[in-house]
Amino acid sequence: METNVASMKKSSILAFSAILVFSMVAAAKSLSLVSANGIIPPPINHIYIRSNGTVAPSTAPLLENGDIYTLTESLRDYCVVVERDNIVLDGKGHTIRWYDYFRSYSAITISKRTNVTIKNINIKNFLNGVNLDHASNNTIIENKMSVFKGVALEKADYNRIIGNTVTDGYGVSGEGSNNFIISNRFSNALSADSTGMGINLWDSNNNTISHNTITHELSISLARSQYNTFSNNTIIGGRDGILLGVSSNNLIFGNTIEGKTDHKSEGLYISYDSFGNTVIANHFENNNLAVTLGRSPIGTTVYNNVYDNTFHHNNFVNNVQNVWIASGAPVNFWDDGEEGNYWSDYNGTDADGDGVGDITYNIDGNNTDNHPLMKPVSLRTTDPNLPILSIISPEETTYATNNVALNIDVDKPASWLAYSLDGHTYVTISGNVTLAGLSEGAHSLTLYLSYSGKLDSSSVTFTVDTTAPFVSILHPRNKSYLLNETLLDVALNFTVNEPVSQLVYSLDEQANVTVAGNTTLACLPAGIHNVTVYAWDKVGNVGVSETIIFTIAEPEPELSSTEPSPTMLVIASTGVVSIVGVGLLVYFKKHRRDEVP
């Protein structure tokens, strides 16, 4: 028994290694070509956005306006290192370019930072466009990159990668969980010599990969990961569409995977020790093999421990072979108990016209679709017979509670209703429920509906924020300020750690005064004063600063030239005393002489 366990562990390690090798072959190939030209690159220059908000060197073309840093011109042979949280770096369409013939360095590095937004930057010829190193809650949006890796993840969680275009390498690659990779375009030449892939993740859980367009030899690779959602992606023309290895409980929904039959393309590849994955409402067309279960992506090794994966409401159209399953593999499921998949080579009939074939579709001796569909599933249907599905709540907004109602409206009964939250496997429901115990931050919810052989979905993103803004008064401080004349103006400077909907201050416990930001406390009289700043975020959480108590002190009054000074008074007093003393001395001497007999 111990020998068998050891053998299984060894096989698992070898399988996982094979998947990673398969994912990284392009990398080695690309780097060897880069170094072969023999050109020594120039040294890289660094621009730092420091934790205190300053830019170094100060001559760098970065315009600072509060928490927003704007690139005012393109950069050549420079990279940017972000050391500050809660900022926006806006490229305004400018380019950051590294040496043309040698890919190295990261154009932008965000290490252990949070709430940083990188947008509107063109990045060329770097090893990494943006490197997220142990960074969380950052947004990389609408950038254009021609680099080896567009976004590199190094244990980076809860980030948003949205609307970027990456060519000539990897779109997103690395290790991270609870990330949103949405509406990006990843592309490369479709040839045996092309490098990289669209999305390459390992040891990554609960990610949402949705609405991306990918044209790569290998589009998506997932290794040793679980509870990820791949939805509504379009994958065109490559050799392999989606590869799962040692990965379980993932949801693959609504994707279009179209290959080229002369290109030996494979749509979905589920390899070693992968189970419990749900594959629904996808469209597989013109692939050599639409779905492959249990074969290694490298070599001819066959693994038969791919099991309990569920496939239904998928379209299999004009593929050379729809499904290949390793010999001896356990059973996988090819329908939901009522409806299965559409197979373009199915020859059965539908006598009762319910949209489901009268005979089964046999895949192999152990795998059968018991309820094959007569017509393709419409992934984006406008069929008036399909129930109208609406998410009433949550809305695309921010909630100041950890318990958010999921309220839906369906105009006719559905045969199946479920939701998936933040990439977790779907939860079947019968009506409205409460999404309880939600964590702080962004969330993604997809609702699924099945009716008469058709599947529909609706998605919404929302945010939970139950934390009040943090307000810090920088000036005035708890000290005394000297009155210039009869009144004094005092600057009121403060910071807030998040966007707010309202700012007010109260001076000397009087009525609140609304302000847009830093202001001036004008015409303060002498005496003791106090000031407090209040900030409301967009969902009504109220942050209150410490109350600063400060004093406006009057200067000592100046004496006029006609008034005697203290020194003069002392001298005068001393003179008077001396005169009186001399007079008394003369008096007593005379009085003694008169008394002598």
476 and 455 in a common domain: no
Residues 6+ apart with CB under 8 A from 47: 55, 56, 57, 60, 62, 75, 78, 79, 80, 81
Distance from C-alpha of 209 to C-alpha of 57, rounded to nearest angstrom: 38
- 32: alpha, beta or left, given left = phi > 0 and alpha = psi -120 to 50? alpha
Is there a single domain that holds both residue 422 and residue 441?
A: yes
Pairing of strands 367-369, 218-223: unpaired
Measured distance CA(279)–CA(241) in Å, rounded: 14
The rounded Cα 456 to chain-centroid distance in angstroms is 27
Nearest to 211 by CA among 233, 236, 235, 179: 233
Question: What would the DSSP string read from start to end of 240-264?
Answer: EEEEEES-BS-EEES-EEE--GGGT
Residues 447 and 516 placed together within one structural domain of the fold: no
Residue 86 lies in a domain: no
With CA atoms as reference, report the closest residue to 401 among 432, 434, 431.
434
- Is 444 in the same domain as 476? no
Q: Alpha helix locations (H) across 37-136?
A: none
Same domain, 428 and 502: no
DSSP letter, residue 40: P
Distance in angstroms (rounded) separating the CA atoms of residues 288 and 320: 5
Instruction: List the beta bridge partners of residue 118.
Output: 89, 140
Domain boundary among 464, 495, 525: 464
Tens of each residue's pLDDT in the chain, 597 residues: 333 433 434 444 444 445 554 454 444 444 433 444 556 666 789 999 999 999 999 999 999 999 999 999 999 989 999 999 999 999 999 999 987 655 679 999 999 999 999 999 999 999 999 999 999 999 998 999 999 999 999 999 999 998 899 998 899 999 999 998 988 999 886 555 566 789 999 999 989 898 899 987 778 999 999 999 898 899 987 778 999 999 999 999 889 999 865 657 789 999 888 999 999 999 999 998 999 998 755 556 666 788 899 999 999 999 999 999 888 888 899 999 999 999 999 999 999 999 999 999 999 888 999 999 999 987 643 344 567 788 999 999 899 999 999 999 887 787 778 888 886 656 889 889 999 999 988 898 988 877 665 566 788 999 999 999 999 999 999 999 887 665 688 999 999 998 899 999 999 999 999 999 999 999 898 899 999 999 999 888 999 999 999 999 887 766 555 555 555 544 444 454 454 454 545 454 555 445 444
Is 529 found in the same domain as 477?
A: yes
Q: 538 and 496, same structural domain?
A: yes
Q: Are residues 433 and 503 in the same domain?
A: no
Q: 550 in the Ramachandran plot: left (φ > 0), alpha (ψ -120 to 50) or beta? A: beta
Mention every residue, 6+ apart, whose C-beta is less than 8 A from residue 301. 15, 18, 295
How confident is the model at residue 455, as a pLDDT? 60
Residue 22 lies in a domain: no
Spell out the residues 6+ positions from residue 585 whose beta carbon is closer than 8 angstroms to its own: none
Question: 433 with 486, same domain?
Answer: no
Residue 505 inside a domain? The answer is yes
Specify if 274 maps to a domain.
no
Q: What is the pLDDT of residue 528?
A: 94
Residue 10 backbone phi and psi in degrees, to 5? -65, -40
Position 8 scores a pLDDT of: 39
Check whether residue 395 and residue 457 sit in a common domain: yes
Please state the pTM of the whole predicted model: 0.64
Looking at the domain assignment, is residue 400 inside a domain?
A: yes
- Please give the DSSP secondary-structure letter assigned to residue 333: B
Which of 399, 429, 464 finishes a domain?
A: 464
Q: Are residues 478 and 548 in the same domain?
A: yes
Q: Are residues 459 and 482 in the same domain?
A: no
In a domain, 98, yes or no: no
CATH label of the domain that carries residue 398:
2.60.40.10
Question: Who contacts 144 (Cβ-Cβ below 8 Å, separation ≥6)?
Answer: 121, 122, 123, 164, 165, 166
- Asked if residue 293 belongs to a domain, the reply is no
What's the structural domain count of the chain?
A: 2
pLDDT of the residue at 5: 34
**Phi, psi (rounded to 5 degrees) for 245:** -135, 130
Beta strands in 134-237 (DSSP E): 139-141, 144-146, 149-154, 160-162, 165-167, 170-175, 180-182, 185-187, 199-202, 208-210, 213-215, 218-223, 229-231, 234-236
pLDDT at 262: 60
- Whether 115 is covered by a domain: the verdict is no
Write out the residue range of the structural domain in which residue 480 sits: 471-553
